[in-house]
Amino acid sequence: MTFKKVEDSQVTISELMLPSHSNFNGKIHGGYILSLLDQIAFACASKHSGAYCVTASVDTVDFLKPIEIGELVTMKASVNSIGSSSMVIGIRVEAENIRTGEKKHCNSSYFTMVAKNEEGKSVPVPGLMLKSREELRRFAKSLKRLENKVKRRKEFNDTDFISEEYLHIQELDNVKIEM
């Protein structure tokens, strides 16, 4: 098996936020940021795998601070962990006021990407060589997010949702149960 260093697949993009990217509140539209996130996740995963990659899931998208028109947005993506044909791409989004130089962390996201061949079949990806405590921390956090994802799927598919743990719902002020 071949291994690639995290740094070999890292991708950074920057883009100036224009009025055409804004929502009705004058902030940059979250959907536009999601589109950029998907693009950089694709670039990072494809760079690591050497294959065409598709988005399998978006595990987390945390919008921490709004992005303003005129700010320079920089996205940094790296492979945090891998499976046999999948990769978890961690992305950090920062916005910079280009007049003052002030930077703010606006978003963190985790995309699971899958490498595919020309027939659309999943293909193996190179292993991941971890060379720092930070890379090891990101890998471990990815494993924890995967555990939580599996747990959420199991809970979502559980059809026996009426149980003791949900009886407190009837005490909420904004819910009325008539069964």
Domains of the chain (ranges; CATH) run: 3-171 (3.10.129.10)
**Residues 14-42: tens digit of each pLDDT:** 999 999 999 999 999 999 999 999 999 99
Residue 177 binned pLDDT confidence (cut-offs 50, 70, 90): low
* DSSP per residue, the chain: --EEEGGGT-EEEEEE--GGGB-TTSBBPHHHHHHHHHHHHHHHHHHHHSSEEEEEEEEEEEE-S--BTTPEEEEEEEEEEE-SSEEEEEEEEEEE-TTT--EEEEEEEEEEEEEE-TTS-B----EEE--SHHHHHHHHHHHHHHHHHHHHHHHHH-S---SGGGGGGGG-TT-----
pLDDT digits (tens, 9 = 90+) for 72-108: 999 999 999 999 999 999 999 999 999 999 999 999 9
In tens, the pLDDT along 51-69 reads: 999 999 998 899 999 999 9
